Amino acid sequence: MKILVINAGSSSLKYQLIDMEGETVEAKGQVERIGIEGTHFKQKVADKVIDYERNMKDHVEAIEAVMAALTDAEKGAIKSMDEISAVGHRVLHGGETFKESVLVTEETMKGMKELVPLGPLHMPANLMGIESCQKVMPNTPNVAVFDTAFHQTMPPKAFLYAIPYDYYKRLKIRRYGFHGTSHRYVASIVPDMLGKKPEDCKFVICHLGNGSSLSAIKGGKCVDTSMGLTPLEGVIMGSRSGDLDPAVLECIMENDHITDIHEMLNILNKKSGLAGLSGLSSDMRDVRGASEKGDPMAITTMEAWGYRIRKYIGAYAAAMGGLDAIVLTAGIGENDAVARSYVIQDLEFLGAKLDPKKNVTGASGVISTDDSTCKVIVVATNEELPIARDTKAIVEAL
Ligand code: ADP
């Protein structure tokens, strides 16, 4: 069975074709600048590459281009569209409606449309991805997999904001959390690495990429996570501020005569975090590189970045009443040994101490000292595979 996994953004679309037999990626590609001059298409099938620029006005044209590339006689991966059994879509927000993945039907589509106000930046694009597939491949079932679903096990004490309760009842304002497929995938692997049953484990997963979030996993379930109503809350990210006093908004807006809240949120989403603090870049490689050359602001940025994550780890150890492991994943967590050392320091009181010989580029598995009672583990995440697995399970049950 072959499953197409799609992650549709407002002007982009990433995809993977996964053969579920051996869970292997048969094709991988992306379309960028959809609806903008100079649409860029790129697909890789083993060492065969299709790479071109051609304006595409919308996601329907982009999906048509994906189908043409996948079935390309020379550089494609399949002979006909009919070989694709189903499409799994990454959908940002499931609200409280969708606690797990669902088959796309008229009813579930209606439910997803009702959630657009909770994710106004991403949801319209995600839904456009689904509708485009329905147009181009009308006989192929679609499944929606939600970034928020894994965190739906959080108890009210963790997900409620201390604002008038009416906002929760009326508008569903609460903490939801994101990166759910990554946290779920990693959470499923860690217990075996610890040699324990999931119900006996307490660990923190640090998904550290451009967007970053932590989750506290107790008994196999998420009991807390750092992102909130939107992905803006939590730790310092590539270009997002993470936590801050909401009154900062009023202060900046009044002083700099900003009248549009969207402009203000754009500063917090796109111009803050590593980029805003260092003044250099949102990319960890640039900031860490500058810190190694002695740039004082880059060093302070690295310290603030690691410190915030460390505070969350401490908070989650307290929330769970103990900690068996700290798990590092995603672009930074998997690849950057120096950045990891900014996170894992002063945590000996929790039993976690980095082993510098194990914490090197390319490391995976346990990177803490042998006597650490709380292990530090590097795990490669996979955000597409859980989408493909859910899609397969749902269409097989039809
Ligand atoms: P996202 O999926 O959120 O866009 P990623 O998980 O790809 O992000 O992570 C991007 C971050 O990971 C960047 O800050 C980048 O510097 C860092 N990163 C990615 N690859 C490497 C690498 N090989 N070495 C060091 N850092 C890396």
- The residues near 142 (Cβ < 8 Å, ≥ 6 apart) are 86, 87, 88, 89, 103, 104, 130, 133, 134
Q: Measuring CA to CA, how many Å separate 119 from each of 2, 29, 80, 144, 194? A: 30, 25, 35, 15, 36
The token duo for 181 is: 């497929």
Q: How far is 217 from 344, CA to CA, in rounded Å?
A: 18
Mean pLDDT for the stretch of residues 92-106: 97
pLDDT of residue 176: 98
Question: Residue 222: how many CB atoms within 10 A of its CB?
Answer: 22
HSE (CB half, 13 Å, CA atoms) of 47?
0
121 pLDDT higher than 90: no
Spatial distance between the Cα atoms of 118 and 396, rounded to a whole number of angstroms? 31
The model's confidence at residue 214, banded by pLDDT at 50, 70 and 90, is: very high
Kindly tell me the number of DSSP H helices and DSSP E strands found in the chain: 14, 14
CA distances from 173 to 159, 162, 266, 297, 347 (A): 9, 11, 20, 36, 34
What is the C-alpha separation between 150 and 194, in angstroms, rounded? Answer: 21
43 forms beta bridges with 29, 50
Strand 12-19 to 202-208 pairing: unpaired
**Ligand 1 in contact with 76 (CB < 6 A)?**
no
Is pLDDT above 90 for 54?
yes
Query: Rounded to the nearest 5 degrees, what angle is found at the Cα of 43, between the Cα atoms of 58 and 52?
Result: 65
Instruction: Tell me how far apart the alpha carbons of residues 328 and 334 are, in angstroms, rounded to a whole number.
Output: 7
Confidence label for 120 from pLDDT (cuts 50, 70 and 90): confident
* Percent of the chain whose predicted confidence (pLDDT) is above 70: 100
Residue 238 Cα to ligand 1 middle (Å): 9
Q: Alpha-carbon distance 87 to 135, whole Å? A: 13
Q: How confident is the model at residue 390 (pLDDT cuts 50, 70, 90)?
A: very high
* Cα–Cα distance for residue pair 161/63, rounded to 1 Å: 40
State both tokens at 92. 């940002």
Pairing of strands 84-91, 202-208: unpaired
Residue matched to tokens 């899609």 = 391
Q: Given ligand 1 and candidates 336, 341, 383, which is best to mutate, with the most ligand atoms within 8 Å of its CB?
A: 336
Q: Which residues contact 43 (CB under 8 A, 6 or more apart)?
A: 27, 28, 29, 49, 50, 51, 66, 69, 70, 75
- Ligand 1 centre distance from Cα of residue 237 (Å): 11
327 in Cβ contact with 315 (< 8 Å): no
Q: Given a cut of 90, is residue 197 above it in pLDDT?
A: yes
**Is 273 a pocket residue for ligand 1 (Cβ < 6 Å)?**
no
Residue nearest to atom 22 of ligand 1 (CA): 335
Q: Whose CA is nearest to atom 24 of ligand 1?
A: 335
Return the active site residues.
147
Q: Residues 59, 34: contact at Cβ < 8 Å?
A: yes
Q: Over range 296-314, report the average pLDDT.
A: 98
CA of 330 to the centre of ligand 1 (A): 7
Cross-strand partners of 70: none
Edge-first strand listing for the sheet containing 221-225: 221-225, 212-218, 202-208, 325-329, 375-378, 365-366
Q: What is the pLDDT of residues 232-290, one digit of tens each?
A: 999 999 999 999 999 999 999 999 999 999 999 999 999 999 999 999 999 999 999 99
User: What are the tens digits of pLDDT across the range 349-382?
Assistant: 999 999 999 999 999 999 999 999 999 999 999 9
Q: What is the pLDDT averaged over residues 311-335? A: 98
Model confidence at 342, in pLDDT bands (50, 70, 90)? Answer: very high
Q: Is 238 in the pocket of ligand 1 (CB under 6 A)?
A: yes
pLDDT of residue 97: 97
Q: According to the model, what pLDDT value does residue 365 have?
A: 96
Report the DSSP beta bridge partners of residue 375. 325
CA dihedral (319, 325, 330, 332) in degrees, to 10, reads 100
Quick one: 256 exposed, middle or buried, by C-beta within 10 A (0-12, 13-18, 19+)? exposed
